[in-house]
Amino acid sequence: MPTLPAPIWQLLAVVIAVMSIFLFCMMGIDKLRARRGRWRISERALFVFALLFGAVGGTAGMFVFHHKTRHWYFRLGFPLLAAAQLALCVFLALRR
């Protein structure tokens, strides 16, 4: 079986960081578009990127941009997904 160049938790941490930056930017763009009355990024797309390990950035973007904070499913969903994703990363790191 081939070995990975880095422990899996480090690869997961990089994925979480990249996807979080991407979703953070998406939240900012969607907020800007909402203010200008323009085409918006769908809530489904935001949740898909949160599920793809971007929930930390989505949670940060939600509070930095004050965006989607009225929707209970964002207020609960993003932080819970972020906690689960970070817990998985910590679990993998401690599993050695």
pLDDT in tens, 77-95: 999 999 999 999 999 999 8
> Average of pLDDT values for 52-70?
94
> Average of pLDDT values for 36-56?
96
Q: Is the pLDDT of residue 10 over 70?
A: yes
**In degrees rounded to 5, what are phi and psi of residue 19?**
-65, -35
Q: CA-to-CA distance for 53 and 86, rounded, in angstroms?
A: 9
- Say what the pLDDT of residue 95 is: 85
Q: CA-to-CA distance for 63 and 5, rounded, in angstroms?
A: 36
Q: What tokens were used for 93?
A: 């790191």
How far is Cα of residue 25 from the mean position of the Cα atoms in its chain?
10
Q: What tokens were used for 80?
A: 């819970």
